[in-house]
Amino acid sequence: METLALPPQATQVGLAVDVAAFAMHGGELQVLLVQRGELPHARDWALPGGFVHPGEDLHEAALRELRTETSVTLEPRHLEQFYTFGAPGRDPRGRIVSVAHLAVLAHGTVDVTGGGHTLGAGWFPAHRPPALAFDHAAILARALGRLRVRLDYAHLALEFLPDTFTLPELQRVHEAILDRPLDKRNFRKRLLAQGLLVPSGERRSGVGRPAQLYRRAKGAKAAAL
Amino acid sequence: METLALPPQATQVGLAVDVAAFAMHGGELQVLLVQRGELPHARDWALPGGFVHPGEDLHEAALRELRTETSVTLEPRHLEQFYTFGAPGRDPRGRIVSVAHLAVLAHGTVDVTGGGHTLGAGWFPAHRPPALAFDHAAILARALGRLRVRLDYAHLALEFLPDTFTLPELQRVHEAILDRPLDKRNFRKRLLAQGLLVPSGERRSGVGRPAQLYRRAKGAKAAAL
DNA sequence: CAGGGCAAGTGTCTCCATGACACGAACTGT
DNA sequence: ACAGTTCGTGTCATGGAGACACTTGCCCTG
């Protein structure tokens, strides 16, 4: 291919990624936030994110920001771009366009300590977040909508759980994302009918009758939109 | 708000929009393409698009490019962003990120003559396009997928038609987008059950029995994803 | 070790949406 | 008036979704 200069009318903008990363803790859907250490919006909570490096893919950039800003070392179970926010006034530093990503972290991803330019990181209830910097409240709202759509559609709920899990646990993931209760029998019927789950051993849950453990069937992956 | 400089690590990239604009002509789904007049890819067909101006919203930029590159003066009936393409090597001129948009143009938008830096513009069968510049074949493929999803979901088919239309015409829009035939009786049943269509006068279509004309019901708009 | 507490697990019925399927009705042009 | 062409219509079978209550199995306490 030819090597050519950018034409003069090519507006140069700052290119950023922001990541709405979700996980289940304590039966609730939580979102990962960082406390900003720099202006603008210093000390405010925000979605982890930052500028894309030269030569770096958008996907890679989202992964890197997730890792460096939150000390999350695990690979996210799911990561996809879902919307690009580019309104002229959205960042006081100038024209910055942010490609927003949705991430799902496996169960057990609890310890987050912050890093990079942040003062810290933490989990917050996804449906009732604190005040957020920039337009991150709008980004989070749209991420939740996307998560809900993906639920039925791409079996995303399984990504929130460890390799082996019980049906009531899986049901709680669905309920947390949809933010409404589901009927136990109908839920089991529907999920088992899809043939994605295979039973294994058994386990006790402290109180009550022990629940059957399941594992995801081998040949089970879903298509992207 | 504060006014601050961009931090040094903020990669500057060229910000572009590309538009996959669809319309129905001759019972087929068509996509609007322009013939490039400049390097790279001079004389190749491409989706209309170009660089976002400073201070311009992404949505506005998509509208402007559609108008100036194709002499389409009509407001599109639908315009939404659907994916952002930002792989480092996608444009030989440097790092250029393109926010791809999906547009639906009303029936009757036929005369396109090109403009701006193009050699011309024209309609092409959306499911069998010619070879395209850059990664525009991938953009078009994803646009078609999105169009299919939006069909059931946001009543997008109506936007392809004039204010008043017949049910067979509407069915042809669905068939063109889904690229498969539909059963006439089931289609009518389903669409009329939604209560979005109201009948009006009648009209003859040259040959065959005249078809009932419909208009969209007043209080009918759908939500975005 | 008996009984209470607690969560897991299970089946039926109804309702609605979808898809398969064939013929008569209304108009045009020759 | 006849042929050609397109519009318009109903039934049945099937499958998925949602409402709904009781029994099972384990733990803990007395």
Give dist(CA A67, CA A131) in Å, integer: 23
Residue B223 has pLDDT above 60, yes or no: no
Residue B3 has pLDDT above 70, yes or no: no
Distance from CA of A211 to the nearest CA of B (A): 36
Give dist(CA B1, CA A92) in Å, integer: 6
CB B63 within 8 A of CB B136: no
CB B64 within 8 A of CB B56: yes
Which residues in chain A come in under a pLDDT of 50?
1-3, 223-225
Q: How many CA within 13 A on the CB side of residue B198?
A: 7
* H/E segment holding residue B149: helix B136-154
CB B32 within 8 A of CB B112: yes
B183: which nucleotide lies closest, measuring CA to C1'?
C19
The reply to whether A180 Cβ lies less than 7 angstroms from strand D is no
pLDDT of residue A221: 55
Percent of chain B at pLDDT > 70 equals 92
Higher pLDDT, A174 or B219: A174
The reply to whether B188 Cβ lies less than 7 angstroms from strand D is yes
Chain C footprint bases within 7 A of protein beta carbons: 5-12, 17-22, 24-29
Query: What is the spatial distance, in angstroms and rounded to an integer, between the CA atom of B196 and the C1' atom of C16?
Result: 19
Mutation target among B97, B149, B151 for the A interface, most CBs of A within 10 A = B97
pLDDT of residue B4: 59
pLDDT of residue A116: 77
Query: What is the spatial distance, in angstroms and rounded to an integer, between the CA atom of B170 and the C1' atom of D1?
Result: 34
- A52-88 burial string, b = 16+ CB within 10 Å, else e? beeebebbebbbbbbbbbbebeeebbbbbbbbbbbeb
pLDDT of residue B219: 67
CB contact under 8 A, B56 and A88: yes
Query: What is the spatial distance, in angstroms and rounded to an integer, between the CA atom of A196 and the C1' atom of D21?
Result: 28
CB burial class (10 A; 0-12, 13-18, 19+) of residue B187? middle
pLDDT of residue A74: 77
CB contact under 8 A, A54 and B11: yes
CB contact under 8 A, A86 and B225: no
User: Alpha carbon of A166 to those of A120, A191, A205: distances in Å?
Assistant: 33, 12, 10
Distant-in-sequence, close-in-space partners of A32: CB < 8 Å, separation ≥ 6: A19, A21, A22, A23, A47, A48, A66, A70, A72, A105, A112, A121, A122, A123
pLDDT of residue B106: 85
Query: What is the spatial distance, in angstroms and rounded to an integer, between the CA atom of A184 and the C1' atom of D29?
Result: 30
Length of chain B: 225
Over chain A, what is the mean pLDDT?
90
pLDDT of residue A148: 94
Residue B121 has pLDDT above 60, yes or no: yes
Pairing verdict, β A12-25 and A96-104: parallel
The reply to whether B168 Cβ lies less than 7 angstroms from strand D is yes
Nearest CA in chain B to A56: B88
pLDDT of residue B8: 63
The reply to whether A183 Cβ lies less than 7 angstroms from strand D is yes
H-assigned helices in chain A = 58-70, 136-154, 167-178, 184-193
* H/E segment holding residue A29: strand A28-36
Q: Residue holding tokens 């400049």?
A: B38
Residue B1 has pLDDT above 60, yes or no: no
Q: If pLDDT is split at 50, 70 and 90, which confidence band does B10 have?
A: confident
Mutation target among B1, B12, B96 for the A interface, most CBs of A within 10 A = B12
CB A23 within 8 A of CB A160: yes
Nearest CA in chain B to A86: B58
Query: What is the spatial distance, in angstroms and rounded to an integer, between the CA atom of A204 and the C1' atom of C4?
Result: 19
CB A84 within 8 A of CB A33: no
CB B24 within 8 A of CB B160: yes
pLDDT of residue B119: 92
Q: Domains of chain B, with CATH numbers? A: 14-153 (3.90.79.10), 163-216 (1.10.10.10)
Residues B20-42 pLDDT 10s:
999 999 889 999 999 999 889 99
Q: Cis peptide before B40, with omega less than 30 degrees from 0?
A: yes
The reply to whether A116 Cβ lies less than 7 angstroms from strand C is no
Please list every residue in chain B whose beta carbon sits closer than 8 Å to the beta carbon of residue A225: 145-146, 149
Distant-in-sequence, close-in-space partners of B218: CB < 8 Å, separation ≥ 6: none
Cβ pairs A/B, distance under 8 A: 130
- Protein chain A, residues 171-210, with a C-beta closer than 7 Å to any atom of nucleic acid strand C: 184-186, 188-189, 205, 207-210
pLDDT of residue A225: 46
Residues A137-195 pLDDT 10s:
999 999 999 999 999 877 899 999 999 999 999 999 999 999 999 999 999 999 999 98
The reply to whether A11 Cβ lies less than 7 angstroms from strand D is no
Distance from CA of A181 to the nearest CA of B (A): 23
Residue A191, both tokens: 């999920």
Pairing verdict, β A45-46 and A49-51: unpaired
Q: Residue holding tokens 């996809």?
A: A80
Over its C-alpha atoms, chain B yields an Rg (Å, rounded) of 20
Residues B126-181 pLDDT 10s:
999 999 999 999 999 999 999 999 998 778 999 999 999 999 999 999 999 999 99
Residues B68-105 pLDDT 10s:
988 787 789 999 999 999 999 999 999 999 999 999 99
Please list every residue in chain B whose beta carbon sits closer than 8 Å to the beta carbon of residue A12: 12-15
Q: Return the closest-CA partner of residue B130 out of B13, B21, B64, B35.
A: B35
pLDDT of residue A19: 98
By three-state DSSP, how is residue B113 classified? coil
Residue nearest to nucleotide C20 (CA to C1'): B183
- B12, B81, B83 ranked by CB distance to A13: nearest: B12
pLDDT of residue B224: 46
Distance from CA of A114 to the nearest CA of B (A): 19
